[in-house]
Chain A
Amino acid sequence: MSTTSNTIIGSGPQSIYASNPNNKVLIIDNGAYTLKIATNNPSQGHLVIPNQSGKVKNDKHSLLGDDLSNYSNPSEVKCRNPMEKGYITNWSLEKEIWDYVFKRDDMKVKPQDYNLLLTEEPFALEEIRKTMYEVVYEQYKFKSLYLTCPSTLGLVNIKQQLLQHQMQQLQPPLDANMQLLLKSPCHLVVDCGYSATHIVPHFQNTKLNYAIKRFGIGGKIMTNYLKEIVSFRYWDMMHETKLMNIIKERTCFISTDFMKDLTTCQKEREKSPLRLDYVLPNYNDSNNKTGYIKKPKEQINSSDNDIKENLDSNNNSNSNNNNEKDEDMDQVLTLVNERFTVPELLFNPSDIGMNQAGLAESIVQSINCTNPNLHIPLYSNIVLLGGSTLFPGLKQRLELELRRLAPEQYNINIFQPQDPILSPLYGGIRLAQQPDYLKYTVSRQEYEEYGYNYCNKKFF
C-alpha cells in the first residue's frame, strides 16, 4: 500500500491549437451543481457558474450566474435546478441558463458557428437524449455535437497532464505509481458528483459500460442531511441550503475510524478534539457574510512558551476582551459528530436507509464485473474526480476499506488530482484541440439525415 501523496502541481491545457475559425468548439461540462464552460480558443478563459436559476419574491426576472452567487441575502432566493439525478430534464430552465452564458460579454458565443462538446452522465434514458438532440441541433443549431462522459474527459486530462510533466522533465519527477498510471491501459474513475456517485472502469480511454456502478449519494444529499440534522438539533437552517453547503465544505471530514471517533465524541462532548465552533454569518457585518470557524480558546491560552505568554498576556487579554464582546453578539453553531457522520454516507449509504453499497464496496462490485485479467491494473489505477472527493481523509479511508475487501496480493493505488472539479473541462479543451476532433462528432446534416438513432450509436 502506498502512502505517498500523489498530488502534483497541475498546469492548465497549453495553447497548442492554432485557432481556425471553422473549428470553433464550445465545451460545456454540465454538472448538476455548477456549469463549467470554455471554448477551444486559448486566449479565452473558462467560466464556472451555478447551474441554477434563482427567484426572489416580487421580482419576475430570475437571477442567473454571478448575480445568483453574489446575491446579498441568499436565504431569500428560491433556486430551481434544471437537472434531476444528474440528467437534464427541465430544458426550458437549462436554456435560460445557457442563453445567459452565451450572451455574456466574456463569452459571446453564437451557437450556429460552434461545434458543441457536451458531457452527460452514463445511461441517460432515451427520451432525455431525444430532447437534448432536439435542443442542440434544432433550437440552437450547433454545427456538430460530441457527447461524452465527464469521467472519460477527466481521465484524458490527468493522463495528458502527467505526460506533459514527464516530457518537460518538471520537478518533482513522477513517482513509480504515477508512471504506472501513465502506462497502464486500465483505469477506474470514481466520480463523486452532486447528485450521485459513478464508478466507471476504463480500458484504453473507453468506458466499460457493463461494469459501471452508480449509487445515489452525492453532495446534494449530504448537504440536505446536514441541514436536517442541524435544524433539528441546534438552529433552524431549513432555508439556508447555500450556507449549509459552505459549512459542509469547510468543516466536514471523513473519519478513518468511524466507530472510535463516535464513541469518544459521545463520552466527552464538550472537550472532544473534534468539536468545532462555527460562527454563523452576520448580515449586518460586511466582513462576515459566510461565517467562519472560530478558533478554540485553549489554543490561544495554552501556548508552550511561558515567557512569551507573560509578555503577550496584556495584549492577548485586551484582544480577547474585544473578541468576547463581539462573540456575545455572534451566533455560534457547535458541530461535533455531525462533522464526520455526514460524509460517512459516502461509505455507508445504509445509515439513512438507502439500500445500496457504499464507495469501497461499489468499486469492488464494479471490478468484479470485468474480465479477471483487468482486476490487477484496475485496483492499482484508481482516479478520484468530482467535488465530493474533496473531503479531507477520503483517500486514506478508501485505501483502508479497499485493502480489507480486495485480494491480498493486489496493489491498491489511488490518485487524487489537484483539481477534481475542473478536470473534465480541461480534458474537453484538450480533446477539442486535437486536429482530428471533428472525426468523432455528429454534424447537424448527419442528424437531419439519419436521425437520433445514428447519434445514439455513435455516443454509446
Chain B
Amino acid sequence: MSDSATINTEVIIDSNTSNITPQFTKRKSQLSKRFRVDNEEDRRLLKEKVVNSRLEQLENDNEQSININEDNDDDYQEEEEDLVYTTPVNKRRQSIAREKKKNEKKSMNLNFNEVLEKSYLETYPDHVPTYISVQSKPSSFPQRHFCSICGYIGSYTCKQCSSRYCCEKCYGVHSETRCKSSVYY
C-alpha cells in the first residue's frame, strides 16, 4: 500500500519537474506496468469485465470445456485409424456420413445465448412478458462490499483492479496472487 503511494507521488513530481531536470523525462514516459489503469473509465471497464467473467465462471457447469477437448481427441484418433485400415473411397463415404451425423447433432443441440439473441425479444411490445422482461430489476439498496480474500467487510479498494480488501495482510495476499492490473490482458 505505502509502496504504491510513493511511486504515485514520484510520477506526479516527474511531470511537474520534467521541464527543469531532463534526467527524469525518461522515467515519465515509461509508466510502471502496475499503473496501466490510471483513469476512472478504465477502472470501470476493468471492473465490469472482472464481474462478468466471474459470473460466467460461477454459471459454469462441471468442466465442460475439458470435455469438448476430449471429444476432439477421440475424433482425431478415429481418423488415424481410418487412415490405416480403409481405402480412400470408404473414407470419403465415412467422412460424409460423419458430417451428416454432426449436422444432425447440431440441430438438436442449441446454445441458449445464441437462441436468445436470435429471438429478438427486445422488439416485443412492453405489455408482452418475455424472458428478458421478467428478470427482476436491480435492488434499491446499495451494493455491499466484501474483502475478496477473507470474506469480511472490505473497506478499501485496490487501486489497480478495484477489488476490495479489509486489511494490510489481505492486501498483501491480493497483490501477490489475484491482482489483475490491466484492462488489456
Contact = CB atoms under 8 A, between A and B. Distances in A.
Nearest to B116: A125
Interface stretch (B15-23, B38-46, B90-98, B131-139): B131-139
B112 interface: yes
Interface in B149-165: 149-153
B112 A123 contact: no
Contact of B136 (A81, A221, A232, A361): A361
A123 B132 CA distance: 9
Given A78-B67, A224-B58, A348-B144, A365 B115 contact: no
A432 B136 CA distance: 33
Nearest to A81: B61
Nearest to A79: B62
A351 interface: yes
Contact of B112 (A89, A199, A221, A358): A89
Interface stretch (A41-49, A178-186, A211-219, A410-418): A211-219
Interface in A347-376: 348-358, 361-362, 365-366
A81 B62 contact: yes
Contacts of A81: 61-62
A262 B153 contact: yes
A209 B129 contact: yes
Interface string B67-93: 100100010000000000000000000
B152 A262 contact: yes
A138 to B, nearest CB: 12
Interface residues of B, number: 46
A131 B66 contact: no
Given A210-B129, A341-B146, A265 B152 contact: yes
Contacts of A125: 115-116, 119, 121, 131
A350 B61 contact: no
Contacts, number: 147
B169 interface: no
A80 B57 CA distance: 15
Contacts of A341: 146, 151
Interface residues of A, number: 65
B58 A357 contact: no
A247 to B, nearest CB: 16
A440 interface: no
B6 interface: no
Given A125-B116, A125-B131, A351-B144, A357 B62 contact: no
Given A265-B152, A348-B144, A215 B135 contact: yes
A85 B112 contact: yes
B55 interface: yes
A225 B58 contact: yes
Given A229-B151, A352-B54, A78 B62 contact: yes
Nearest to A362: B136
B61 A79 contact: yes
A78 B66 contact: yes
Contacts of A427: none
B55 A131 contact: no
A101 B153 CA distance: 48
A285 interface: no
A214 B137 CA distance: 9
Contacts of B121: 125
B143 to A, nearest CB: 4
B59 A356 contact: no
A182 to B, nearest CB: 28
A220 interface: yes
B119 A126 contact: yes
Interface of B: 51, 54-55, 57-64, 66-67, 70, 74, 105, 108-112, 115-116, 118-119, 121, 127, 129-131, 134-141, 143-144, 146, 149-153
13 contacts: A52-B62, A55-B67, A78-B70, A92-B109, A93-B109, A220-B61, A352-B51, A352-B54, A353-B51, A356-B135, A357-B136, A357-B140, A361-B139
